[in-house]
Amino acid sequence: MKKFTVNKNDADQRLDKFVTKTTRGLPGSLLYKFIRKKRIKVNGKRSDAAYRLSEGDEVELFIPDEFFGRDTAACEYSRSKATPDVVFEDENVILVNKKPGVLSHTGDGEGASPSEEAERSTLIFAIKAYLFGKGEYDPSSENSFAPALCNRIDRNTGGIVIAAKNAKTLRAVNEAIKRREIKKFYLCAVHGIPEKKEGRATAYLRKDETANKVTVRDDPFPGAKKIVTAYRVVAENRKDGLSLLEVELLTGRTHQIRAHLDHLGFPLVGEGKYGVNREDRDRGFRYQALYSYKTVFESHIPEIEYLCGRSFSIPADSRSIPFVSLFGTDTKKR
């Protein structure tokens, strides 16, 4: 039998979600059977799976020991030399600059059963190890919570990722993102020079889950969702026929920037899935020239209202974002 006392990071979540996080490999069918059979209790009494826990509640689990694995996280974090590139942090959030080629977490990878080595190379592992080293995160003192990413960026795209240090902030930031009260701006290098130097483009996008690829068309079609992409030409390289764009996602769909710009006739430099440009790879561009370089908070949700009006960015120069070097002395800037 294991007994857990609900702390502030555990509070306000469903009992079934809490048990899932505090056990390892417990099938859902068994979880709900154990709840029905009173082998999972709250404050000594039978409880419903949907019961929302309060700080101070005691959860008793009368289930086999095999579902409580030995937690080696602290040892792994103490050995880690991973250091995230911190853009901003306080007691609630940490914003980091994810480099192209790095997975946000193993759920973004191709394998269904990621190795421990793969886990240690992810951005979220680096963040946890960093906070562990600072004494801000101790997995042994948490029942169900761990620092978590609030947004993700494709493996081969770089830029700012937000992580929450506690449960209430995680809920608040996730809600703000859902309400589109946290704005994200991207820089990208594209082939072609738009005649209209600033505007909004609307289209319709459908994702093929099997191929992990999307289709974009101008008019509605079955299974497609509306997308809106705002852009502004920041610089031009007329010699090579390239443009540097600042893009804001007014809707957030899978591969929206990459697929929408290709549909408009301006494929990203280094693109490997949409509008493939073999010469870009030959010139050394391993990843698409896309960077989430600026994040602006505009939310009045109480837990994060103190950040409202603040903007956090990565310098828009070639040292921080390599493809900006394409727009040098021959560049017509705007």
- Mean pLDDT computed over 285-310: 95
| 214 band by pLDDT with thresholds 50, 70 and 90 | very high
**What's residue 69's pLDDT?**
65
Q: Which fold has domain 182-333?
A: Pseudouridine synthase (3.30.2350)
List, edge to edge, every strand of the sheet that includes 58-61: 2-5, 58-61, 40-42, 45-46
**What's residue 66's pLDDT?**
81
List phi, psi (to 5°) of 227. -125, 145
What are the pLDDT digits (tens) for 149-187? Answer: 999 898 899 999 999 999 999 999 999 999 999 999 999
**What's residue 72's pLDDT?**
62
- Mean pLDDT computed over 259-273: 92
**What's residue 113's pLDDT?**
45
**What's residue 111's pLDDT?**
44
What are the pLDDT digits (tens) for 103-129? Answer: 998 765 544 445 566 778 899 999 999
pTM value is 0.85
Q: What is the CATH number of domain 2-67?
A: 3.10.290.10
| 25 band by pLDDT with thresholds 50, 70 and 90 | confident
For residues 143-160, one letter each, b for 16 or more C-beta atoms within 10 angstroms of the residue's C-beta and e for the rest, the string is: bbbbbbbbbbbbebbbbb
Residues of the chain with CATH 3.30.2350.10: 73-178, 182-333
Residue 313 one-letter amino acid = S
**What's residue 77's pLDDT?**
86
C-alpha distances (whole Å) from 260 to each of 108, 128, 195, 243, 279 are: 22, 35, 17, 16, 21
| 70 band by pLDDT with thresholds 50, 70 and 90 | low
Residues of the chain with CATH 3.10.290.10: 2-67
| 212 band by pLDDT with thresholds 50, 70 and 90 | confident
Specify the higher pLDDT residue, 87 or 334. Answer: 87
Q: Provide the percentage of residues in the chain whose pLDDT is more than 70.
A: 93
Specify the higher pLDDT residue, 32 or 66. Answer: 32
- Alpha carbon distance 139, 118 (integer Å): 20
Q: Which fold has domain 73-178?
A: Pseudouridine synthase (3.30.2350)
Average of per-residue pLDDT values in the chain: 90
- Mean pLDDT computed over 74-101: 91
Per DSSP bridges, beta strands 45-46 and 158-164 are unpaired
| 287 band by pLDDT with thresholds 50, 70 and 90 | confident
- Mean pLDDT computed over 71-79: 75
Length of the chain equals 334
- Mean pLDDT computed over 85-95: 98
